[in-house]
Amino acid sequence: MKALVLLSGGLDSTLAMKLLLEQGIEVVAVHFVSPFFRSPWAVKTTQEWGVPLLEVDITDDILELLKAPPHGFGSQMNPCIDCHALMLRKAKEIMKEVGASFVATGEVLGERPMSQNRTALRIVERESGLEGLLLRPLSAKLFPPTIPEKEGWVDREKLLDIQGRSRKRQVELAEKWGIEHYPSPAGGCLLTDPQFSKRLRDLMENGELTKENVALLKLGRHFRLRKGVKLVVGRNKEENERLRGLFRKGDFLLQAYSHKGPDAILRGNVAEEGIILAGRIVGRYSDLGEGEKLKVKVQGDTERIIEIERAEEEVVRKLML
Ligand code: SF4
């Protein structure tokens, strides 16, 4: 009997996988990735345990989903119910491809009030088309038996009845099985992060939800100069390098030239005044002395140097996201 386990890399799904492995069930793991979530632990754990892992990129589906999730968002920009349903729909297809008989997840009843209550868990099961074939090993005893349990593919007695937000039992199991490294419960998904969500909301309100723009959200200080024009300023050497890597046709790359200072990407429908304002914001984060002017290298289709005074603190604060 083979099971397909949805492995986020977090503790719950790792334990769900381990519970099946302990029963001698063959496991294939699938790790869904996007710019918002990806965990190095999915790879490390499966390598260590000799479990085949499929990494499946669902960026396009998630970006589409974010535009109008039928079951809405959680406390931030996390459309958890629809995201779960999406992953399970994909899992159903993969289950057939890899010859697995059922799907298992690390969901725990009541761990997340919005997306892991009985109603939400029923919704995602129904919408995924996996009715009866979706096993939640950590909370299985709190639900009616699934087909794998009724058919004896899985020993229900060896499954668990974990419920609620306390992680005590999971942490005990992790100790028992020597699982030392795992992220905090909400640590794996940027869509649950308030600051990231604020920037994402701004992108969506400006009709700029693309892969390229989402990639920029993950680094730097962000400024909305006006509708359709966005500036991202690096906070350190590493971010400056990464920003340069994300520079693409149509963007302007600004670099402090006469003094030490950051790199920045200016993106959108940019007019000359936008370039000057962006340069002044770059000046705010440079080593510019009082009353000095900063030379900024501006690279677009062509390259030139502009000379600016740094922006006032209140201007920077007003435009910062
Ligand atoms: S926390 Fe993120 S990855 Fe997990 S279900 Fe919610 S939106 Fe999807």
Q: What is the C-alpha to C-alpha distance for residues 111 and 169, in angstroms, rounded to an integer?
A: 12
Segment 196-255, tens digit of pLDDT: 999 999 999 999 999 999 999 999 999 999 999 999 999 999 999 999 999 999 999 999
Q: What is the C-alpha to C-alpha distance for residues 106 and 10, in angstroms, rounded to an integer?
A: 9
For residue 9, how far is its CA from the centre of ligand 1 (angstroms)?
12
**How would residue 185 be classed by pLDDT, with cut points 50, 70 and 90?**
low
Q: Residue 141: is its pLDDT beyond 90?
A: yes
- Beta carbon of 83 within 6 Å of any ligand 1 atom: yes
Q: Residue 300: is its pLDDT beyond 80?
A: yes
Tell me how far CA of residue 7 lies from CA of 36, 41, 142, 146, in angstroms: 15, 9, 21, 20
Q: Residue 188: is its pLDDT beyond 90?
A: no
Give the CB-side neighbour count of residue 6, counting CA atoms within 13 A: 24
Find where tokens 């992790």 sit.
174
- Beta carbon of 306 within 6 Å of any ligand 1 atom: no
- Beta carbon of 191 within 6 Å of any ligand 1 atom: yes
For residue 284, how far is its CA from the centre of ligand 1 (angstroms)?
36
- Beta carbon of 66 within 6 Å of any ligand 1 atom: no
- Beta carbon of 189 within 6 Å of any ligand 1 atom: yes
- Beta carbon of 71 within 6 Å of any ligand 1 atom: no
pTM value surpassing 0.85: yes
Contact 294, 279 (CB under 8 A): yes
Q: Residue 187: is its pLDDT beyond 70?
A: no
Q: Which atom of ligand 1 has the smallest separation from the CA of 84?
A: 5
What contacts 24+ positions apart, CB below 8 Å, involve 57-62?
A: 57/32, 57/33, 58/32, 58/33, 58/34, 58/86, 58/87, 58/90, 59/33, 59/34, 59/35, 59/211, 61/86, 61/90, 62/34, 62/36, 62/86
Q: What is the rounded average pLDDT of the residues 76-80?
A: 96
Q: What is the C-alpha to C-alpha distance for residues 124 and 120, in angstroms, rounded to an integer?
A: 6
DSSP state of 321: -
pLDDT at 113: 84
Per DSSP, the three-state class of 5 is strand
Handedness of CA 23, 24, 26, 27 (dihedral sign): positive
- Beta carbon of 88 within 6 Å of any ligand 1 atom: no
Tokens for 76, please give them: 């931030």
Segment 86-134, tens digit of pLDDT: 999 999 999 999 999 999 999 999 998 888 999 999 999 999 999 999 9
Q: Which atom of ligand 1 has the smallest separation from the CA of 81?
A: 5
- Beta carbon of 46 within 6 Å of any ligand 1 atom: no
Tell me how far CA of residue 291 lies from CA of 237, 295, 296, in angstroms: 26, 13, 16
pLDDT at 186: 57
- What does the mean pLDDT of the chain come to? 95
For residue 78, how far is its CA from the centre of ligand 1 (angstroms)?
6
pLDDT at 177: 93
pLDDT at 290: 86
Segment 144-154, tens digit of pLDDT: 999 999 999 99
pLDDT at 96: 97
Task: Give, for ligand 1, the residue of 11, 63, 83, 197 to mutate: max count of ligand atoms closer than 8 Å to Cβ.
Answer: 83
Q: What is the rounded average pLDDT of the residues 134-147?
A: 98
pLDDT at 1: 86
**How would residue 12 be classed by pLDDT, with cut points 50, 70 and 90?**
very high
CB atoms within 10 A of CB 212: 11
What one-character-per-residue DSSP string does 212-275 give? HHHHHHTSSEEEEEETTEEEEE-SSHHHHHHHHHH--TT-EEEEE-SSS--EEEEEES--HHHH
Q: Residue 184: is its pLDDT beyond 90?
A: no
Q: What is the rounded average pLDDT of the residues 164-191?
A: 87
Q: Which atom of ligand 1 has the smallest separation from the CA of 186?
A: 1
- Beta carbon of 37 within 6 Å of any ligand 1 atom: yes
For residue 76, how far is its CA from the centre of ligand 1 (angstroms)?
11
Percent of the chain with pLDDT over 70: 99
Q: Residue 53: is its pLDDT beyond 80?
A: yes
> Which residues, 6+ apart, have CB-to-CB distance to 213 below 8 Å?
203, 230, 267
Task: Give, for ligand 1, the residue of 66, 84, 87, 90 to mutate: max count of ligand atoms closer than 8 Å to Cβ.
Answer: 84
**How would residue 163 be classed by pLDDT, with cut points 50, 70 and 90?**
very high
Q: What is the rounded average pLDDT of the residues 301-319?
A: 95
Q: What is the rounded average pLDDT of the residues 283-301?
A: 94
Q: Residue 33: is its pLDDT beyond 80?
A: yes
Give the CB-side neighbour count of residue 264, counting CA atoms within 13 A: 30
